Amino acid sequence: MNVRRRLQLGAILVVVAGLLVLGITLATRSTNKASAPQTSAPKGIITFAEAPQTPPNYIFPYVGFANFSVSTLNQFQMLMFRPMYWFGLGTSPAYVPSLSLANSPVWTNGNKTLTIKMKGWKFADGQTVDAQSVMFFLNLYKADPKAYAGYVPGYGIPDQVTSATGSGNTVVMNFNKPINENWLLYNYLSEITPFPNSWDITAPGKTSTCATGAFGTKSTDAACKAVEKYLDAQSSKISTYTDAMWQSGVDGPWKLKSMDTLGNVTFVPNTKYSGPQKAQVAMVKEVPFASAAAELNALRAGSIDLGYVDTTQITSPAPGIGEAGPNIPALAGKYNLKSGLSWAYNYDPINFSKTNPLQAVFNQLYFRQALQMGTDQKGIIQKIFKGYGIPTWSPVPYGAPASISKPVTNPYPFSLSKAKSLLTSHGWAIQGGVMTCVKPGTNASSCGSGVKAGTKLNLTLEYVSGAPAVTDTVNAEVSDWKSIGINTTTSTNTFNNVISGCGQSGTQPWEICTWGAGWIYAPDYYPSGEELLYTGAGSNNGSYSNSKMDTLIRATFQGNSTLTAYAQYAAEQVPVLYQPTQTPVGEVIKTLKGAPSALVPSVLQNFMPEYLHF
C-alpha cells in the first residue's frame, strides 16, 4: 500500500478486476501480451508531469511511511529497482509472472514452507539477482521491521517467519503456522525488493554481512542496522542518486541519469535489463511543478507528453465513472483527455494519539460520525470534481467484486441537521459561535470520557498546497462544519511535508490532515486492512486501535472470509474521515503511441514508460 497523490499516467491499467479470493482462488495471471520489443535503437523523449509539489524524495527501496508515496515508489524507485513479484499489466492489477524476478512461489509442508526460485536476471553491474539478494532484504526487514511502512506486528513477513535461507537462486522460508498463500503473495512477497551486494556497506569501501548473515541472529541484525543507517543517510542526499553504488542495484528497464533537489528527473534505458519489455524511447524526463496552474501552462505550450488536469480546470463533466468527457478546448488539439479507475480509496487521517490536543473528543464515535455526516461528498464530486469521483465510506476500493466484498451501506449520509443533533444530544451547545461541552460525563447524553467542561470544537487541519481541487474541497467542508459549530483552522504544506507530519502521530501535534488523494493498494494489493487500521501497523499513521477491528482484519486473511464484515465495521467506526475518491484525469499527447491500455491512467498508478513510444 502507499500514499496516493493525483494522477499517474503512462502505465498500463484501466479496469479493476477481481484480485483473488483468499484460500480459494489461485493468483490471477495476466493474459495481456507485452508489446513486442523494439529492434531499432530507442529514440525520442517522454516528458512526464509530476503532481504539484510532489517530487520523489527517497531512493532506497526500504521505505518508512514518511516517504511511502506513489511519487517515490511507483513513479521513481520501481522504474529502476523491481520488486520480486510484479503486479499490474493490461486491464488487471493481477500478478504478472513474466515481469517478476522470481518464478511463482511453491508451498509445501501444509503451507508452512515456501520455496522461491529466482530467474537469474541481472543487476546493472552484472551481479545476478539471486537468493542472496532476497536474503539481504529479508535480513534487513527482520533487523528493523518498524522502519518499513508495510510492517504489521505479528503477521506475515518477517514476524511469522521462523527461518529463512538462501543458496544459489533458491530461497526457502518456514512459517510458524499454515499461511494463506495468496494473501502472502499479494501483500508481503509483493513488497520484497532484492538488493545487490554492492549496497551491503556501512561506508564507501567498508563491506558488511547483512546480505550473507544468518536470518534473525544478533550479529546479522546488528550488521543490517548499520547498513540501513548508512543507506538511509545516503538516501537523504539526492546528489548521490546517480552514483555507481545506487545505480549498481538497477534491475529494471531504466537507469537514473540525473536528478536535482527540485525533482527534475531523467531516466535512460538500462541496456542490461533482463525483462521482456525493453525501453522504446531514448529518455524519460519527470518534471516538477509548483502548482496545477503551472502544469496547465506547460500543457498549453505542448511541452509535456503525459500530464494531468485539476478538475477545477475541466469545463465539461464526466459522462460516467471512469469515463472521460470533452477535453479542455485549449488542449483538445494536442492532447487526448483520459480517465479510468484506481484501486484506491480517499480519506483524511485522524490523530488518535496523545499528541492530539483534542484526543478525548476524537475518541468519541458520535463526534467522528458528526464530522462524516458533515462531509458533502456528492456535492464535492459534482461541483469540484466535475463528476470525476466516487463517494467513499469504507476502505474497500470501488469496483471490488462480490468475491472480495459485498456492497457496504453508507451509515452516515450527508446531513448537517443530523450532525448538529448528534453533538447537542451528547452535551454540546453553541457558545460564542463554537460548539462547547456543557455536560461533561460518560453517560449517553454527555460529552464522553475525558472531555472536560468548556472544551471547544476548534479543530486544525493541514492539507497539501498547489492543487485547487483539494483547496476547494477543504474550504467547502470547513464551511459546512462551521455552520454546525465546528471551527477549523487550516494550514497548507507541500505533499512530502504533509505525509511526513501525518506519519508521526506519536510526536507531532496534528488533528486532521489530508494529502488530497488517499491510499493506493500497492505494493500490497489485497485490501485486507492490516497495514492501515491494525493496531501498531506501519502505515496506521493515526495510531488507531480497536480490538474488534483487529479481529475482523485477521479474519480476512486467516481463513476464507471476504472483506464484507471488516468493510462495514470500518464504515461505521469512522477510523478516518472518508473523502470522495477522485477518478484519474490526465492528458496524453496525441503523438505518443502504445497499446490502448498503455495510454490511460493506471489502476495501480504504476509508471511503465517502456510500453510507450513515438
Q: What is the CATH number of the domain that holds 459?
A: 3.10.105.10
Please tell me whether residues 321 and 424 are part of one structural domain.
no
Can you give the pLDDT at residue 2?
Answer: 55
CATH code of the domain covering residue 268: 3.40.190.10
Kind plus residue range of the DSSP H or E element containing 588: strand 585-589
> For the chain, what is the mean pLDDT?
91
pLDDT band at 10 (very low <50, low <70, confident <90, very high): very low
The reply to whether 269 and 140 lie within a common domain is no
CATH number for the domain spanning 115: value is 3.90.76.10
> Is 352 in the same domain as 336?
no
CA 391 to chain centre: 19
Per the domain annotation, does 30 fall within a domain?
A: no
CB 524 within 8 A of CB 187: yes
State the pLDDT at residue 14.
27
Strand ranges inside 422-568, DSSP E: 428-431, 434-437, 458-464, 487-493, 512-514, 519-520
Q: Is residue 92 part of a domain?
A: no
Longest dimension (CA), the chain: 76
DSSP code for 418:
H
Residues forming a β-bridge with 458: 487
Tens-place pLDDT, residues 254-302: 999 999 999 999 999 999 999 999 999 999 999 999 999 999 999 999 9
Pairing of strands 344-348, 519-520: antiparallel
Same domain, yes or no: 182 and 49: no
Q: What is the pTM of this model?
A: 0.88
In a domain? residue 213: yes
What is the residue-wise DSSP string for 19-48?
---TTTSPPPB--PPPPPPP-SPP--EEEE
- Rounded CA-CA distance 417/393 in Å is 19
**Mean pLDDT across 241-262:** 98
Asked if residue 517 and residue 368 are part of one domain, the reply reads yes
Residue 402 lies in a domain: yes
SS3 string of 351-399? CCCCCCCCHHHHCCHHHHHHHHHCCCHHHHHHHCCCCCEECCCCCCCCC
Do 413 and 313 share a domain, yes or no?
no
383-434: pLDDT as tens digits? 999 999 999 999 999 989 898 999 999 999 999 999 999 999 999 999 999 9
In a domain, 32, yes or no: no
Instruction: Give a yes or no: residue 245 inside a domain.
Output: no
Mark whether 353 and 465 lie in a shared domain: yes
SS3 category, 287 = strand
The answer to whether residues 234 and 288 belong to one domain is no
Examine the fold and report which residue of 238, 265, 295 is the final residue of a domain before the chain moves on. Answer: 238
Q: Same domain for 329 and 300?
A: yes
Residue 167 lies in a domain: yes
Q: What is the pLDDT of residue 333?
A: 97
243 belongs to a structural domain: no
Give the pLDDT confidence of 78-96 residue by residue, as tens digits. 999 999 999 987 556 889 9
Are residues 471 and 564 both part of a single domain? yes
Q: Domain end: 238, 264, 283, which one?
A: 238
Cα 590 to chain center, whole Å?
A: 29
Yes or no: say if 23 and 562 are a contact pair by the CB < 8 Å rule: no
| Residue 62 pLDDT exceeds 90 | yes
Based on the fold, state whether residues 447 and 590 are members of the same structural domain.
no
Q: Are 609 and 48 in contact (CB under 8 A)?
A: yes
Please give the tally of structural domains in the chain: 3
Range of the domain at 520: 345-580
Mean pLDDT, residues 33-50: 75
Please name the amino acid found at residue 459. Answer: L
Q: Are residues 360 and 275 in the same domain?
A: no
pLDDT at 541 over 90: no
User: In which band, very low, low, confident or very high, does the pLDDT at 482 lie, cut at 50, 70 and 90?
Assistant: very high
What Cα–Cα distance (Å) separates residue 430 from each residue in 400, 420, 515, 600? 42, 10, 31, 49
Among 88, 234, 578, 209, smallest CA distance to 377 is for 578
